Amino acid sequence: MNSPVPPPSGVIDQYRIATQPYYRAGGDEIALFEAAYAARMPMMLKGPTGCGKTRFIEFMAWKLGKPLVTLACNEDMTASDLVGRFLLDAEGTRWQDGPLTIAARHGAICYLDEVVEARQDTAVVIHPLTDARRALPLEKKNELVTAHPDFQLVISYNPGYQSILKDLKQSTKQRFGALDFHYPPRAIEIEIVAHEARIPDATAATLVSIGEKTRHLKGHGLEEGASTRMLIHAGLLIAQGVDPVAACRVTLVRPITDDVDMRDALDGVVTAFF
């Protein structure tokens, strides 16, 4: 409203999710998230990569009927990439809202994926949005954006693999409620893999078994076992008629390790199943 250059009408509409994303709940996360949303509580989704966090938030946005603004964070990111910046155009300068500002202004759910990847000084810009103020100061523009009532901030956070140096500050963490995500329970993961890769349940079950076995090696030569996402990738190749052992090599074994001995061990895991 206060913006000198109001966004063209419907700018937020591109962030709406039209059709229901496929999400298979593993527990009571949907209800918990609904409650958190009702309180507009900032939420943190914890869990290893590829376990369904992104899919979950897409589903929740759809279910709550809110637009979803997603931003994958990285270490080159500056505060401006989140908040917005002045651009030069024919008339001179023009302010362009960043994704966070768009979400706050228009009442979207803002999902900052892997927020730890962003530099610390970048991450602190979210603080004012996460406490009672629910406001976003645009210092360059000298504007304080009060968050739309529908706005919610959600971040994802994988406690597993990043260095202590990169960890979120306590002061940041404590602003969020947290939901733990894991690789789904076996039966559910089978359902997911079968659905996403369009393969028979039996094949999906084998892939899930392989995934489970690789996860035993977390901390023993592997940073992380094969994710649900990787299992789906294997299934997608199998659905195209690729030999299962080869499909697993390409999508599960090779991407996960560069160590020759580990590769041998994982190849052995795959061949134990086919």
Partner 1 sequence: MNDVAVHFADQRKPLAWWLRALWNDGTALHPFGATLSVARPYRSNIGLHFPDQYRAVQGAGGALVYRAGLAHLAAHHAFSGPARSRKGLKPVQVALFGVLEDARVEHLAMREFPGLRRLWSRFHVAQAGGSASTFLSLAVRLSRALIDPDFADDHPWVRKGRSMFFHPAGDLNDPGFPRELASLLGNDIGQMRLQFNAKTYVVEPLYRDDNAHLWLPEDDDDSTAQALMVEDDILLVNPEVIETEGGDVIEEESDDDDAEAGVKPVGTGADDDPELATVALDALRVVTYPEWDWMIGASRPAWCTVQERRPMPGDSAAIDAILARHASLVDRIDSLVGGNELRKPERLRKQMEGDRFDLDAVVTAMLDVRTRRTPDPRVHIRVDRRERDLAVLVLLDLSQSTNDVVEACQARVLDLAREATVLLAHAMEKVGDQFAIHGFCSNGRGEVQYQRFKDFGHTFDAGVKARLAGMTGQWSTRMGGALRHATAQLVARRNDRRLILLITDGEPHDIDVHDPRYLLQDARKAVDEASRAGVFTYCMSLDPKADHYVQRIFGPRNWTVMDHIAKLPEKLPALYLRLTR
Ligand X SMILES: Nc1ncnc2c1ncn2[C@@H]1O[C@H](COP(=O)(O)OP(=O)(O)OP(=O)(O)O)[C@@H](O)[C@H]1O
> 158 vs 206, which CB is nearer to ligand X?
158
CB of 62 to partner 1, least distance (A): 37
214 binds partner 1 (CB under 8 A): yes
The type of residue at 244 is: P
Of 24-53, which residues contact ligand X (CB under 6 A)?
24, 26, 47, 49-53
51 DSSP 8-state letter: S
Q: Tokens 């809202």 appear where?
A: 97
How much helix, strand and coil, in percent to the nearest 5, is found in the chain? 45, 15, 35
From ligand X, partner 1, none, which one binds at residue 274 (CB under 5 to 8 Å depending on kind)? partner 1
Question: How far from chain centre, in Å, is Cα 202?
Answer: 29
63 binds ligand X (CB under 6 A): no
Selection from 238, 259, 257 nearest residue 247 by Cα: 238
Q: Tokens 């039966």 appear where?
A: 187
Residue 262's CB: how many other CB atoms inside 10 A?
17
* Cα–Cα distance for residue pair 55/57, rounded to 1 Å: 6
> 152 vs 156, which CB is nearer to ligand X?
156
From ligand X, partner 1, none, which one binds at residue 82 (CB under 5 to 8 Å depending on kind)? none
Q: Binding segment for partner 1 among 38-46, 132-140, 194-202, 215-223 (CB under 8 A)?
A: 215-223
Of 52-111, which residues contact partner 1 (CB under 8 A)?
none
- Helical spans, DSSP H, in 145-227: 170-173, 186-197, 201-215
From partner 1, ligand X, none, which one binds at residue 79 (CB under 5 to 8 Å depending on kind)? none
Strands (E), 30-76: 43-46, 68-72
211 binds ligand X (CB under 6 A): no
3 binds ligand X (CB under 6 A): no
* Cα–Cα distance for residue pair 262/224, rounded to 1 Å: 13
Among residues 118, 136, 145, 192, the one that binds ligand X under rule CB under 6 A: 192
161 binds ligand X (CB under 6 A): no
Compute the radius of gyration of the chain from its Cα atoms: 21
Q: Binding segment for partner 1 among 90-98, 110-118, 138-146, 209-217 (CB under 8 A)?
A: 209-217
Residues that bind partner 1 (CB under 8 A): 209, 213-214, 216-217, 220-221, 261-262, 264-266, 268-274
Residues that bind ligand X (CB under 6 A): 22-24, 26, 47, 49-55, 113, 156, 158, 184, 192, 196, 228-229, 232
